[in-house]
A and B are shown apart, each in its own frame.
Chain A
Amino acid sequence: MLLSGLPVQEAAGVAHPLQGTLAEWIWLVPVLPFIGFIVNGLLSLVPAMHLGPADPSAAGHDHGHVEHADHADHAHDDHHHVARHKYHRIVSMVGPAVLGVAFALTVGIFFALSGAHAEEPFVRTLFPWMVTGDLNIDAALQVDQLSMLMTMVVTGVGFLIHVFSVGYMQDDPGYPRYFAYLNLFVFFMLVLVLGASYPVMFVGWEGVGLCSYLLIGYWYSDKANADAGKKAFVMNRIGDFGFLVAMFLLFANLGTLDFVGVAGRVSELGEGGAVITAIGLFFFLGCAGKSAQIPLYTWLPDAMAGPTPVSALIHAATMVTAGVYLVARSSFIFSLAPVASLTVALVGAVTALFAATIGLKQWDIKKVLAYSTVSQLGYMFVGVGVGAYAAGVFHLVTHAFFKALLFLGSGSVIFAMHRALHHTGSHSDAQDMRNMGGLRKYMPWTFGLMWIATLAIAGIPPFSGFFSKDEILASVFARASHSTLAEATWLGIPGSALLMLIYVMGLAAALLTAIYMTRMMLYTFHGPNRSGEKEQAHLAEAPWIMTGPLVVLGVLSAVGGYFNLPSFLGGVSQKMHHWLEPVTGASSLRITHGEEAHLATSTEFALIGLAVAIAVGGILLAWTRLKPAALVPKDQAPEAHGIERVLEHKYYVDEAYDRAIVEPVVGVSRRVLWRGMDTGLIDGLFVNGSGFLMRGLGWVGARLQSGQVGTYAWVLVIGVLAVLGVFSIK
């Protein structure tokens, strides 16, 4: 079924091959997590049972009724009492189960789709949503190769993280609330990836932002966490403004907002025109907010204030990749706007390199992973920016595997560290790598699995990240010589030069990635243990409900690359590439002048050799240069100097933003808007001013109302004379 043979299918009344199949039930996939949200949300209204005292050092001693003494450990600094919810068993069942069923259904629809060989997307309209004038939007879900791939990742990885959460969060008093938010997040994420039009996607886009805010500030009693949530929310609003403007521009120029309609008519805007470039750039502003790209990336590292499974699900595997999905989904727009595409790729490359340098000097294990996520998201944008949409989405998928594994692994580490510190009543930082070290001995499973993920993200064959990263870099290299992007100019710079620069930046970021990931592994798992004599006795692997999902993700991280094995390495010719062809193929081809961008096999091998050499070099460099034995625990560590200090403070970007934006805004708000406008103008002039005016008028009126009839008579006579006088003058 080729595109040219479609007139028969397009004719009215001819059914889509997926009609009447399991794909009709696509609406159930997002509805299932929503049911979970309702159930868990209602259960969260029941207060928790407190099983232990608030003071960790006293746990299990003086309270005879502590029946879960072995659960007297908790997952994070921020909740100091051990409390299990009355209905925690129901929550542990419902929360992951709805995702499991949704995943099973997704698999079914995925195979129905792959069996149907549908070239056109299958749109399942649920009900008319907005019908006003020319605007006609249905609440409709779209089943196509891209949306189903994303749905597989969201429900599959989501399910594993939900299972992990059962072990990680069970002793939290807000356990049902946590799962309610998590289920709601998955619901919105599915609306985002399955929506058949930009407005439906926007509903999901906003919804995941809301859930991200709720979960970052999950331990809201600590102000820092609540602030981090607010920061994420506000930064995302800046991006959402871009998304909205892009939608308005689309509607004003094309009169339609659903993907099928826009894809059909977008060429009316002309290639490289101002309007389409603006649409692309505004969409990318939305992506920069959601996917933490320069200049809107600073919220993501702060988002680590949330529970670690949340970091894995929302801030690594799914939500932050929504921007990449948006660009891939809008490939028909970006392929017509070379300047916008080059901007996407350049910002991605700069972000990838910039964040990787910060990752080099972070001590908080989750912060390392956070900057690594920002950096890898930059990689994905390089991929979709240069028109290698399949490569970008491929990296999105493999990244979901290995980054979820890394985050959950770090969750295991933090869990174990916390339990150990908790038993001894120590107040050391459970997330600081300087307090870890030598965990290999105590947590062999986590150790091995995290090394798999590390090799994957560093780009060592045959692990998954190698294939996806290599494909992105090779795509950039290929397009630098022969594509519409290479012929375009970006602010006067020729596109081909810019693409070569992006390629070099990508290589540099790959080197740094290998270094900082090896550093993290070295400091966490190798060398001597620095957590303290007494604590060592309590260090142990997390329970199987947490390690189990890690194993599954470890397998996926190791073999995920085979989903899209390059043909010259003997694979079945880039399966994922061909899978996505109905969605992004035409756009990719437009950028490469209608030919598949194939490099000569020798060039391919040279590029691979270079990339692998860089990755191995990075790992060896870190391995030989860094001495975990020389590290000291956090509270004895000396201050860093020079460039290290700058990196440790993340280039002072947060401080600069505070100076340049936050403080002026706060100052203007305080002085002009609050003191001037609110207390001065509104309260002073309008509210109190009208009060004063009325009081004055009342005073005058009271004086007139003397009760002396004589006075009244005088006034009356004078008034009559005045009226008569006026008339007689006339």
Chain B
Amino acid sequence: MIPEGLALSAVLFAIGTIGVLTRRNAIMIFMSVELMLNAVNLSFVALSRLYGATGQVFVVFVMTVAAAEAAVGLAIIIAIFRHGQSVNLKNINLLKG
């Protein structure tokens, strides 16, 4: 079970990474990040079979942080949308040097 779980986790992480790198829509990137987080969660759970329950405790923490992040992140995205009528990253470069 462990190798299959880790393999699935790696595939999901890769998909999430590619999503972050290729997508331009902030919502889509946001979802890809969630996917990466959950891929990591999966590997935690898989490895907890080998190393005890610590990995599962960690997963709960990650999900808590992810929830908080989702709340703050979506709020920011909504604020950006209200500001520029767009969530396309090409138009969001206020920190350009």
Contacts and interface: CB of A to CB of B under 8 A. Distances in A.
A713 interface: yes
The size bracket of the interface on B is: 10 to 19
A705 B95 contact: yes
B52 interface: no
A717 B21 CA distance: 9
Contacts of A713: 20-21
Interface in A676-730: 701-710, 713-714, 717
A707 B97 contact: yes
B93 interface: yes
B17 interface: yes
B21 A710 contact: yes
Contact of A701 (B17, B24, B96, B97): B97
Contacts of A704: 97
Interface string B66-97: 00000000000000000000000110111111
Contact of B89 (A703, A705, A708): A708
Contacts of B95: 705, 707
Contacts of A707: 92-97
A714 B90 CA distance: 15
Given A710-B24, A713-B21, A717-B17, A705 B92 contact: no
A703 B97 CA distance: 7
Contacts, number: 31
B5 to A, nearest CB: 21
A601 to B, nearest CB: 103
Classify the interface of chain A: helix, strand, loop or mixed.
helix
The size bracket of the interface on A is: 10 to 19
Nearest to A699: B97
Nearest to A712: B95
Contact of A705 (B17, B29, B90, B96): B96
Interface in B9-25: 17, 20-21, 24
A703 B96 CA distance: 9
Nearest to B94: A707
A708 B89 CA distance: 7
Interface string A528-546: 0000000000000000000
Nearest to B33: A713
B96 A706 contact: yes
Contacts of A705: 95-97
Interface-centre pick from B24, B93, B94 (highest chain A CB count, 10 A): B93
A618 to B, nearest CB: 90
Contacts of A709: 29, 89, 92
A136 B94 CA distance: 71
A708 B95 CA distance: 8
B45 to A, nearest CB: 23
A706 B93 contact: yes
B93 A708 contact: yes
A709 B92 CA distance: 8
A701 to B, nearest CB: 7
Given A705-B95, A705-B96, A717-B17, 16 more contacts: A701-B97, A703-B97, A705-B97, A706-B93, A706-B96, A706-B97, A707-B93, A707-B94, A707-B97, A708-B90, A709-B29, A709-B89, A709-B92, A710-B21, A710-B24, A710-B89
Which 8 residue pairs spanning A and B have beta carbons closest together? A705-B97, A707-B93, A707-B96, A702-B97, A707-B95, A709-B89, A713-B20, A710-B89
